[in-house]
Structure 1
């Protein structure tokens, strides 16, 4: 194992994804956490927010504005900030750390721009601010203009298993959303192989409450979510264009999926049940074989034996993704079930996996913990 030390900053350490990064990075053999920010808890120690970290020697929380970037040795910055705020902060951060920003960048200037921002500081963003490649699509779905279109030009969509080569060279990695990770992993290889109809995909996803973030919201109160479940963002969830962007690449053409998320009364975990229509002579067994071929050597993605389907408890607390394929009783159709821990493989774990690639480490480093059950 290399003795390389990676100095990490976590912006937004008082949220669920920030705390999960602290949990994972605190046992990573190559990482030292040197900056933690949490604007509302500035001046406090992280253990006052999350007592489980009381045994760790961590930096005091501070506001982003208080960080003297010029005087801090940082190799990677993890951004765990609310959607809509990250673009401006990253733009300013890359400027402070020596990156040259040209917001008026035109396509013909792209290669020169990449060369200018290729500096040691790497950005791993866990928000949605750089996931959508088209800034017009971003404005349509998030309700405001993109604040750093030049950086969007060079951001890499960081679904690790599908973009390793690009991630290794990236200065800015946009980590996928949790729902998209659970949907794209099983569907992309099947669309690439032409085994399913791109226009007949239905994704029914269910997530634990941590997926909604840690901010106080009436809809997330215990009495609102316990003993029941409900659909939300029906026909309009912001992860829809992200899913369609990546699946469209796999299919080789634009497509539209039917995607409906549901909130269920568990802390963490996502389970997506996906209904697909087969093409040509393909069968459910054909889909299973294609997924086994695509992910047979993967450390974190496992395809179960044909006919078996996973449960969210099978991945709890881990960076694993499990996929099951079953035949539908209707001829010419199949059912795929995919599950991940939404704040590990769906957020912070995938962020660490991408960091490992960026810094030339084995991508399993610091992520080898097995799922927790019971």
Structure 2
């Protein structure tokens, strides 16, 4: 058994990491830490984590996290880099924040207000990239940057078309809806039930959302040259889940059959990415609590655009599930070990 500490266990992402670790046959939950919630019992914050309800959250310090085989950092953006620098090279560190996702300093400083910390191997194993899969960069890695939730959905939705050369890179539009847990657990007036229930609203409009450069980075890695993305996120009245509708121009002369073949071939052997049968559309309810991504792709022949819809659970495959998946790869365990494929319904 490998012992895994979770820093930031009181948050939504950290709590989801703990939930998945509890059902993992080869990983044991080690220290659980928090910031303002340190000293409280885990069950007072995450009552659904019954097996560890009496566990007291400790302060997030390098000393508490020392002595583990792996550490998962589920901290706010900008807080991982300093802590990771104090952890030894003998520990596998999986960062769920944004600190190490971007490969360019300019892209980081344009969207974030902290110093650029560099880039770690990017933790989206299934991502089609020029020459193969992102998985190859994760085998034996000691540090991994978990993708953002929106980039997970959007990148997996569009990369097959770019790799196959059936989609053009210069006119990509994405409108995606997310549940409120994507904004974290801090109290915010616009996330109150009275504000969210029965309503949808856009935010981060006009190319300012922090996940935009990450999406463009991933799609550029598919080998189609520089990618431009118009990304509009929206807030949906649900706790968790992402539904991303992605469109792009197809290469002239591309048939509907060629479009579908590009996606089905790309994910034929992937256990967590499912291209649904024709006519069946993704739903966030179908992936709830799972590490699965549901996709559907069609060609709108009238306007010459491909339409791809992706559904993921932002806390599972969008964050914590990806962390455990990458941890499995880094530790040499079967990639899908301990991760749920089936969702929870209704």
Alpha-carbon displacement from aligned partner over 1:252-288 (angstroms, at most 9, x marks no partner): 4222111100000001110011112110321233221
Deviation >4 Å, runs of 4+? none
Task: Confirm or deny that 1:161 pairs with 2:133.
Answer: no
| Structure with greater helix percent | 1
2:197 match = 226
Once the two structures are superposed, the pairs formed by residues 1-374 of structure 1 within 5 Å of their partners are 5-56=1-52, 59-65=55-61, 67-69=63-65, 72-93=66-87, 97=88, 119-146=89-116, 148-149=117-118, 152=119, 155-162=120-127, 163-235=134-206, 236-328=208-300, 330-374=302-346
Q: Is the contact made by 1:35 and 1:59 (CA closer than 8 Å) also made in structure 2?
A: no
In structure 1, distance between residues paired with 2:54 and 2:228: 45
Contact 1:307–1:326 under 8 Å retained in 2: no
Q: How many corresponding residue pairs?
A: 339
Decide which structure has the larger Cα Rg and report it.
1
With normalisation by structure 1, the TM-score equals 0.87
* Consecutive unaligned residues in structure 2, runs of 5 or more: 128-133
Q: Is the 8 A contact 1:274 1:336 kept in 2?
A: yes
Cα distance in structure 2, aligned partners of 1:237 and 1:331? 28
1:200-241 Cα deviation digits (max 9, x unpaired): 211110000111100111111111111110110002100000
CA separation of 1:59 and 1:67: change in aligned 2, threshold 3 A: farther
Aligned mates of 1:67, 1:57 — CA distance in 2: 23
8 Å CA contact 2:292–2:341 kept in 1: the answer is: no
**Cα gap change, 1:265 to 1:164, in 2 (>3 Å):** same
Alpha-carbon offset, residue 329 of structure 1:
5.5
CA distance in 1, matches of 2:294, 2:239: 19
Q: Secondary structure in 2 aligned to 1:203?
A: strand
The SS at the match of 1:144 is coil
Equivalent residues of 1:33, 1:59 under 8 A apart = no
Question: How big is the alpha-carbon RMSD for the aligned residues of Structure 1 and Structure 2?
Answer: 1.5
Q: Which moved more, 1:44-53 or 1:346-355?
A: 44-53
Please list every run of 5 or more consecutive structure 1 residues that lacks an aligned counterpart in the other structure: 98-118
> What is the DSSP-based 3-state SS (H/G/I as helix, E as strand, rest coil) of the residue aligned with 2:314?
coil
Structure 1 residues 73 and 56 mapped into 2: Cα distance closer, same or farther (>3 Å)?
same
Question: What displacement does 1:40 show?
Answer: 1.1
